[in-house]
């Protein structure tokens, strides 16, 4: 049986682990076996993983490469061995499959602006990740197109705990009415912090996440998020590895999944002259 090698970070994060699972499923459907080499980072250990996979006479390698350090690893792959990167960069000149993270940032931010929010705050992921930077760029572009100045970025790790800490800071600012979180785990922690500070979601603050983790539909309220089709990433990466004669890039579109954490912002009018009563306008 033909065997292909996969190199990926040893991560419990939903995105990277889902990609590895999707590649394995697609390979199985194509009648292939998969040998996976997990690495803590893309340093010396990763080079040893590549050496061992090549020693197994794999038919090709798929390298999940969400950070720039993975570029150096590609130089260790013997010439002539087919290589496909997942989440790589165009300048690497390998066949590459990626979800359009920039488009996902646009989708999330435009959705919040369309619900009447004057601006959107962003809790971004780690800066060294390509996807984090691209989502942030999409957020900035959507705000700029709407003529809105971007608030300061709040930087988080890819975890609910980190989202919770960021949420504690944002909850103290009454101007924060809409937040785009760089992944669903961050969003879940953020929502917890907002609730503990008396800021309801979506009553006081609307929130959009990213990834569409399985739990997103079962939070209360259900988390509005941007979905990545990891199964399609797996299928396309295996297809390119088996059939590409030249470097080819496939960029997949994410989709918005509306649920319950976004609603139209209601502007409360200030109290008028004596004897009048405060009212509220409709959706902005």
Regarding whether 168 and 44 lie in a shared domain, the answer is no
Give the per-residue pLDDT at 1.
72
Short-list 251, 277, 258, CA closest to 134: 251
pTM listed for this prediction: 0.89
Regarding whether 38 and 59 lie in a shared domain, the answer is yes
Give the per-residue pLDDT at 181.
98
As a whole number of angstroms, the distance between CA 174 and CA 199 comes to 9
Regarding whether 130 and 74 lie in a shared domain, the answer is no
Residues 6+ apart with CB under 8 A from 10: 38, 39, 40
Tell me how many domains the chain contains.
2
Regarding whether 79 and 111 lie in a shared domain, the answer is no
Q: What is the mean pLDDT of residues 59-83?
A: 90
Higher pLDDT, 144 or 9: 144
- Is residue 214 in a domain? yes
Regarding whether 223 and 238 lie in a shared domain, the answer is no
Does the structure show a pLDDT above 80 at 273? no
Provide the edge-to-edge strand list for the sheet that holds 206-208.
Answer: 154-155, 121-124, 178-181, 206-208
163 exposure class (CB count in 10 Å sphere: 0-12, 13-18, 19+): buried
As a whole number of angstroms, the distance between CA 110 and CA 99 comes to 18
Tens digit of each residue's pLDDT (9 = 90 or more) over 183-239? 999 999 999 999 999 999 999 999 999 999 999 999 999 999 999 999 999 999 999
The three-class DSSP label of residue 191 is helix
Give the per-residue pLDDT at 247.
65
Report the share of the chain in percent with pLDDT over 90.
75
Regarding whether 128 and 240 lie in a shared domain, the answer is no
Give the domain CATH number at 8: 3.40.50.2300
Q: Which domain holds residue 215?
A: 101-227+258-266
Regarding whether 187 and 49 lie in a shared domain, the answer is no
Short-list 134, 119, 124, 233, CA closest to 176: 119
Does the structure show a pLDDT above 80 at 246? no
């Amino acid at each position: 049986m033909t065997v292909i090698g996969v190199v990926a970070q040893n991560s419990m994060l939903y995105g990277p682990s889902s990609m590895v699972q999707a590649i394995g499923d697609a390979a199985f459907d194509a009648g292939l076996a998969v040998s996976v080499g997990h690495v803590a980072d893309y340093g010396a250990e990763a080079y040893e993983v590549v050496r061992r996979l090549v020693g197994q006479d794999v038919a090709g390698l798929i390298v999940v490469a969400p950070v720039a350090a993975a570029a150096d690893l590609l130089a260790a792959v013997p010439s002539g061995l087919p290589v496909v990167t997942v989440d790589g960069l165009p300048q690497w000149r390998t066949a590459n499959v990626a979800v359009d993270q920039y488009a996902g940032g646009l989708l999330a931010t435009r959705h919040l602006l369309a619900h009447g929010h004057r601006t959107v705050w962003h809790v971004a992921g780690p800066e060294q990740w390509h996807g984090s930077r691209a989502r942030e760029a999409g957020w900035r572009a959507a705000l700029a197109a709407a003529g809105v100045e971007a608030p300061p970025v709040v930087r988080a790790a890819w975890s609910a705990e980190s989202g919770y800490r960021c949420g504690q800071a944002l909850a103290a600012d009454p101007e924060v009415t809409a937040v785009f979180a760089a992944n669903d785990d961050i969003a879940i922690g953020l929502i917890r912090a907002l609730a503990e500070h008396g800021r309801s979601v979506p009553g006081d603050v609307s929130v959009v996440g990213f990834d569409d983790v399985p739990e997103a539909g079962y939070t209360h309220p259900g988390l509005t998020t941007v979905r990545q089709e990891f199964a399609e990433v797996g299928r396309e990466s295996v297809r390119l590895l088996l059939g590409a004669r030249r470097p080819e890039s496939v960029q997949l579109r994410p989709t918005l999944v509306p649920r319950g954490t976004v609603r139209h912002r209601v502007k409360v009018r200030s109290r008028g002259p004596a004897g009048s009563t405060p009212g509220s306008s409709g959706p902005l």
